[in-house]
């Protein structure tokens, strides 16, 4: 399925595990079907929420293949292929493209970081080697570096760099790159709590953690705003804002997997160094979920 000009709610999928730590493909199938039934506009696999840093390359490929097979073209599938090693990023991007990915998500190079020119080359080298759309992923809280505005401006002109997932939470930064938005370059919120503010400056939607829990609601909020019913979008965004925020009481995806297990979705444990949520935070999250009608 073509990804060009994709709008809406794109879920940043968790990866379900068995108690022994292996990937639970049966539950993954159920979760993907649940998303599509609820109207989710796209699937992101192997993002931060999917715990890909603790998965082997073979597991990554298996999850991608399974996701593409189950989704079967019903919505676009975006695959996180980013790395702080450009050569590895290129290798994975080509592999996932050949497996049938509709688009790729490329994170800023973490740990080793880069100067602006190195960052341009890091992303452009990958985009030059594939023929499907690539999204930049700005999440300085994870990577220790932000993609400079000048880099976004340059890369927004690349024919295969089709947008950015902006997850800094910095509206000033978002405003500075908003002029890059157009028919060939989209802005997606990477933070559920500011989806509507990002859409107000030209954003196309959200790549969402919250959508793992309430996919239908997340889809409707974005659809309402894009469709002109901004009052209803704001009403629902504010209604579930506490839940969106509480899904980040601890480092993602600890809270969202905890919430899904509370809902009986049986997504299993996390992989170290992530571990179960503290009892104090579980109580807070459980109360918020009850207020939202999930428990």
Residue 165 appears among annotated catalytic residues: yes
37's enclosing H/E stretch is helix 25-37
Q: Residues 52, 92, 96, 137: which is the catalytic one?
A: 137
- Tokens 């989806």 — which residue? 195
Burial class (CB in 10 A: 0-12, 13-18, 19+), 180: buried
Residue 257 appears among annotated catalytic residues: no
Question: In angstroms, rounded to a whole number, what is the distance separating the alpha carbons of residues 124 and 136?
Answer: 10
Residue 144 main-chain phi, psi, to 5 deg: 80, 5
- Under a CB-based contact definition with an 8 Å cutoff, are residues 124 and 158 in contact? yes
Give which of 18, 50, 34, 42 is closest to 213, Cα–Cα.
34
Q: Positive or negative CA dihedral for 1, 35, 170, 54? A: negative
- Residues with a known catalytic role: 137, 165
């Amino acid at each position: 399925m073509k990804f060009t000009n994709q709008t809406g709610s794109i879920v940043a999928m968790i990866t379900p595990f068995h108690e022994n730590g292996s990937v639970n493909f049966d539950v993954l199938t159920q979760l993907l079907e649940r998303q599509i039934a609820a109207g989710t506009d796209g699937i992101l696999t192997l993002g931060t929420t999917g715990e890909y840093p603790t998965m082997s390359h073979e597991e990554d490929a298996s999850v991608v293949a399974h996701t593409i097979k189950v989704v079967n073209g019903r919505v676009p599938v975006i695959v996180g292929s980013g790395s702080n090693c450009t050569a590895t990023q290129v290798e994975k991007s080509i592999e996932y493209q050949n497996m049938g990915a509709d688009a790729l998500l490329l994170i800023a190079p973490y740990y080793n970081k880069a100067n602006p020119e190195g960052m341009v080359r890091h992303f452009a080298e990958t985009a030059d080697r594939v023929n499907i759309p690539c999204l930049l992923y700005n999440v300085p809280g994870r990577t220790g570096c932000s993609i400079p505005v000048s880099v976004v401006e340059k890369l927004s002109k690349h024919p295969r760099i089709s947008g950015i997932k902006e997850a800094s939470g910095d509206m000033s930064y978002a405003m500075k790159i908003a002029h890059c938005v157009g028919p060939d370059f989209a802005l997606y919120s990477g933070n559920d709590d500011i989806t509507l503010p990002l859409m107000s400056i030209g954003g196309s939607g959200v790549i969402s953690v919250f959508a793992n829990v309430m996919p239908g609601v997340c889809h409707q909020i974005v659809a309402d705003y894009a469709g002109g019913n901004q009052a209803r979008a704001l009403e629902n965004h504010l209604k579930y804002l506490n839940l969106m925020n509480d899904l980040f009481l601890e480092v993602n995806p600890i809270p969202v997997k905890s919430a899904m297990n509370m809902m009986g979705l049986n997504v299993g444990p996390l992989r170290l160094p992530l571990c179960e949520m503290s009892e104090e935070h579980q109580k807070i999250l459980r109360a918020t979920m009850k207020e939202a009608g999930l428990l």
